[in-house]
Amino acid sequence: MTASDLTLLLDRLARDDGWRLPDAFLERADLADRLDLLLPGDTASAEVARAAPFLAAMEASDARLFQRLREAIRAGRGALAMAPWLRSGASEGQHYDALDTLLAGVLAIDEPMADDPVPPPGMVFYQPTPARHILDCVRRAGIGRDDVVLDLGSGLGHVPMLVNILTGARTRGVEREPAYVESAARAADALGLRGVSFLCADARDASLDDVDVVYLFTPFVGGVLADVLVSLERAARARPLRIATLGPCSATFARQAWLRADAATSPDRVAVFRSVSGGPD
């Protein structure tokens, strides 16, 4: 890519303003990525000065779209309003893409510093689930309005909020970081998500009595994961459980005799497990 590529792109932005429409979000995201790659590091350059109004206009168009979607969510029409952007495939990997930018803008979650920046033994540094994997989880786990979904290690609450918006299921997040729980609860309240709740607690103490689906993005390992597995196995004796996992912990769940995987498991795609009927003896 050369300076002429940048000139051609800037000329295109000036000539064709369809990207300014709020619904042209994916086109804008692609154009912004290309600008980011082509613009020189010298912030005082003429190219940067010429690109600045276009980048500002992109942000303004995004903001209008995010506001419209937030209003639709508050009115109970979130799933329908967001549908045009939620046709992402189930590509593997734990990278982020334009859909995550959209979700971040809509949920508008404050991102505080963790109260405990160094996780205790067995706990893993927080990393949000890429949005396309949340969509994959909803589809393959068959999550519906009558389900109760529990996210163990919910962080800033992306999974409970998006699952509730898309399906109407009651969702709960359990997270040990108080600052994360407070931010997630504020965002859910601002969107009027009455079926979403967050609890600041250790995942080993989470109640599973009414839960239908449990989600984990490898929030803990070792002894903590072993203790949670014991709790999940006990709960599966009383009621059928669907368990969706992402990351290295999927291999551990795949070894459990009381679970059956819907398909071959991979650490780079959500794995969906169902408890054996009646649970283990």
How does pLDDT run along the chain (281 residues), one tens digit per residue? 466 899 999 999 999 999 999 999 999 999 999 998 988 877 778 888 999 999 999 999 999 999 999 999 999 999 999 998 887 666 778 889 999 999 999 999 998 876 666 777 777 888 999 999 999 999 999 999 999 999 999 999 999 999 999 999 999 999 999 999 999 999 999 999 999 999 999 999 999 999 999 999 999 999 999 999 999 999 999 999 999 999 999 999 999 999 999 988 988 999 999 999 654 44
Residue 113 has a pLDDT of: 78
Same domain assignment for residues 116 and 212: yes
What CA–CA distances, in Å, run from 82 to 85, 86, 161, 213, 263? 6, 6, 13, 23, 28
Put the strands of the sheet holding 148-152 in their side by side order: 196-200, 170-175, 148-152, 213-216, 242-245, 271-275, 259-261
If asked whether residues 29 and 154 sit together in one domain, one would say no
Identify which of 212, 208, 221 has the alpha carbon closest to the alpha carbon of residue 247.
221
Question: What's the total number of domains in the chain?
Answer: 2
The answer to whether residue 134 is domain-embedded is yes
Whole-number pLDDT of residue 23: 93
Q: Is 190 exposed, middle or buried (0-12, 13-18, 19+ CB in 10 A)?
A: middle
Query: Does 30 lie in the same domain as 135?
Result: no
Site of tokens 């303004």:
60
* Residue pair 205/135 in contact by the 8 Å Cβ criterion: no
User: Does 88 reside within a domain?
Assistant: no
Could you tell me if residue 83 is inside a domain? no
Question: Does the predicted TM-score (pTM) go above 0.85?
Answer: yes
**Whole-number Å distance between alpha carbons of 254 and 248:** 11
Does one domain contain both 50 and 121? no
> How far apart are the C-alpha atoms of 261 and 239, rounded to whole Å?
17
pLDDT number for residue 117: 67
Helices (H), the chain: 3-15, 25-38, 46-74, 78-82, 98-107, 131-140, 158-167, 178-190, 222-238, 249-254
Domain ranges, residue 145: 102-275
Q: Is there a single domain that holds both residue 175 and residue 241?
A: yes
Q: Indicate whether 41 and 119 sit together in one domain.
A: no
Q: Give the model's pLDDT for residue 106.
A: 97
**245 vs 251: CA distance, rounded Å:** 9
CATH number, residue 139 = 3.40.50.150
The size of the chain, in residues, is 281
DSSP 128: P
User: In terms of Cα–Cα distance, which of 200, 48, 30 is closest to 115?
Assistant: 200
Residue 280's pLDDT is what? Answer: 44
Element (H, E) at 274: strand 271-275
Q: Give the residue from 75, 90, 124 where a domain finishes.
A: 75
Residue 114 makes CB contacts below 8 A (sequence gap 6+) with: 126, 177, 179, 180
Tokens 């006990």 -> residue: 234
Tokens describing residue 272: 């969906």
Parallel/antiparallel/unpaired status of strands 196-200 and 170-175: parallel
Residues 56 and 111 in one domain: no
Q: Same domain for 149 and 236?
A: yes
Q: 227 with 201: CB under 8 angstroms?
A: no
